[in-house]
């Protein structure tokens, strides 16, 4: 095994699971063993929560300037060790190594840089009153957080949640997905190298989300849950958290519409939408799940889109190679899910315009369906893979009704040179992010998240993301003599 026998990081100490059990993570491309990690259970979760609770008074009482300096130091260390995490992205997740730089590793550093800046500007409010009382509304850290992250942008999302919760003054237990267990342990090693970070401020445990994630959500000493993942798992997390009425920040699934008008810059639309659909094998909640193209430019769009698909298909291969544009799907089980949806599309009567299925395990290239109708499973469900669903439209009101008829509310985009008209149409979308002539431009400086079945609570990222790990406290001062 490349990484050998690894341990969890609890209370600043490297430990095995109480049970002594382990599991092995795999190289998603070759199937070879990468590393052995502890198989945590509830006893290990209890240890981690207790360590975070003990560290909370120490960390929360640090000044914002002290927290900012430590966060900046972590950002610098991520950049210094960037090559290591780029390689892990390729091995555990399948992201081409040379592409992991910007979306995952460098952006992870940016998460800490942004959090370091924002936490120095946390402000309260003085509320005037005629009753002889001064009111001061201040922001305070919520307490101990359970941070439950997904496998699709592993390092970026681990870093985002840890950075924001630390900036707020919270301590945490990070439960990363088992697929990315080595990445989470190596992240813990990085944090362990930061001497100024108190022991127990962050704790990293490895184990199944079905056991550990839901247990953390129900834990009496967890005050807040930061979760990114599927809507179905989010519902389970909410149910587990409900008896203790925890604060929740949840970024969930999406089936995101992109509407292309006849006056759109087709080259830009094709380049951007194909990138967001195929660059991470479609394994992103913000991928354009439904692309609506006006009949006047439909044929030209398909021609250009097919050419873009060929570029990605020609670059399908080993994520460690610099020529690779698309690596494998993250696991065998996810491969079976994605290919089953391709079968559903065929069974339901859609036209398989481009078939990306291969005879190589876990690899699916760009796949495109046309002649898709709203009753089809590929139209309504989040596939989370490199499968494009393209719908021809003619009437504007009809396409807007189609695009907004969905349980999700994550993101949407309109492609048109008529910005004023696009803005007006954007008012009809119930989404967390609406874009014009771009799609899903996530940045550490900007909040991100959905509404309806795509999310609940504070948005992630940006200044607003820190507030998700804080509570309001009202201080009243009598001015009577």
Joined together, the tokens standing for residue 157 give: 């999302």
> What is the distance between the terminal CA atoms of the chain, rounded to a whole angstrom?
73
Could you confirm whether 251 is annotated as catalytic?
Answer: yes
Q: Give the DSSP letter string of 392-414.
A: EE--HHHHHHHHH-SS--SEEEE
At 204, list the tokens: 């990293």
- Considering the candidates 92, 113, 251, 460, report the single residue annotated as catalytic: 251
Q: Answer yes or no: 285 catalytic.
A: yes
Exposed/middle/buried for 29, CB within 10 Å: 0-12, 13-18, 19+?
buried
E strand or H helix that includes residue 423:
helix 419-426
* DSSP state letter for 200: T
CB 475 within 8 A of CB 138: yes
The whole-angstrom distance between residue 58's C-alpha and the CA centroid of its chain comes to: 29
Element (DSSP H or E) covering residue 159: helix 154-168
- Helix (H) / strand (E) element for 234: namely helix 231-241
Distance CA 158, CA 203 (A): 12
- Residue 263 CA to its chain's centroid (Å): 33
Q: How far apart are CA 56 and CA 53, in angstroms?
A: 5
The residues, ordered by sequence, that sit 6+ positions from 473 with a Cβ below 8 Å of its Cβ are 137, 138, 139, 140
Catalytic hit among 281, 285, 297, 309: 285
Backbone phi, psi, residue 398, to 5°: -65, -45
How far is Cα 135 from Cα 352, in angstroms, rounded to an integer? 63
Tell me 383's DSSP state: -
Q: Which residues are catalytic?
A: 251, 285
């Amino acid at each position: 095994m490349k990484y050998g026998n690894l341990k969890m990081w609890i209370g600043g100490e490297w430990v095995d699971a109480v049970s002594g059990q382990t599991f092995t993570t795999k190289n998603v491309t070759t199937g070879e063993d990468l590393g052995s990690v502890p198989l945590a259970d509830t006893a290990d979760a209890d240890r981690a929560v207790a360590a975070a609770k003990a560290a909370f008074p120490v960390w929360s009482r640090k000044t914002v300037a002290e927290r900012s300096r430590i966060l900046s130091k972590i950002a610098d260390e991520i950049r210094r060790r960037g090559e290591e995490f780029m390689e892990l992205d390729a091995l555990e997740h399948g992201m081409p190594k040379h592409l992991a730089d910007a979306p995952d590793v460098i952006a992870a550093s940016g998460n800490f840089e942004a959090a370091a800046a924002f936490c120095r500007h946390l402000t309260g409010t003085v509320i005037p009153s005629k009753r002889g009382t001064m009111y001061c509304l201040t922001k305070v850290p919520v307490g101990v957080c359970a941070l439950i992250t997904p496998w699709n942008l592993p390092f970026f999302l681990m870093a985002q949640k840890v950075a924001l919760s630390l900036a707020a003054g919270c301590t945490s237990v990070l439960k990363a997905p088992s697929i990315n267990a080595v990445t989470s342990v190596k992240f813990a090693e990085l944090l362990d190298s930061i001497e100024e970070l108190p022991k127990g401020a962050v704790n990293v445990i490895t184990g199944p989300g079905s056991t550990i994630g839901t247990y953390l959500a129900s834990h009496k000493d967890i005050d807040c849950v930061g979760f990114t993942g599927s809507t179905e798992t989010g519902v389970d997390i909410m149910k587990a958290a409900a008896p203790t009425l925890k604060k929740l920040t949840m970024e969930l699934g999406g089936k995101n519409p992109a509407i292309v008008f006849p006056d759109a810059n087709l080259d830009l639309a094709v380049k951007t939408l194909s990138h967001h659909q195929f660059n991470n094998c479609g394994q992103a909640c913000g991928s354009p799940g439904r692309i609506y193209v006006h009949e006047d430019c439909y044929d030209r769009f398909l021609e250009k889109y097919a050419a873009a698909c060929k570029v990605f298909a020609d670059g399908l291969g080993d994520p460690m190679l610099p020529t690779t544009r698309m690596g494998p799907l993250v696991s065998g089980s996810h491969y079976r899910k994605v290919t089953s949806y391709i079968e559903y599309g065929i069974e339901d009567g859609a036209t398989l315009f481009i078939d990306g299925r291969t005879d190589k395990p876990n690899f699916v290239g760009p796949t495109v369906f046309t002649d898709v109708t709203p009753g089809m499973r590929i139209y309504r469900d989040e596939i989370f893979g490199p499968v494009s669903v393209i719908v021809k439209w003619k009437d504007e009101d009809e396409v807007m009704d189609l695009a907004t008829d969905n349980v999700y509310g994550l993101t949407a985009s309109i492609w048109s040179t008529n910005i004023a008209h696009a803005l007006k149409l954007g008012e009809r979308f119930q989404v967390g992010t609406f874009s014009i002539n771009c799609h899903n431009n996530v940045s550490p400086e900007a909040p991100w998240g959905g509404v309806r079945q795509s999310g609940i609570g504070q948005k992630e990222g940006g200044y607003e993301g820190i507030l998700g790990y804080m509570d309001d406290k009202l201080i009243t001062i009598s001015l009577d003599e």
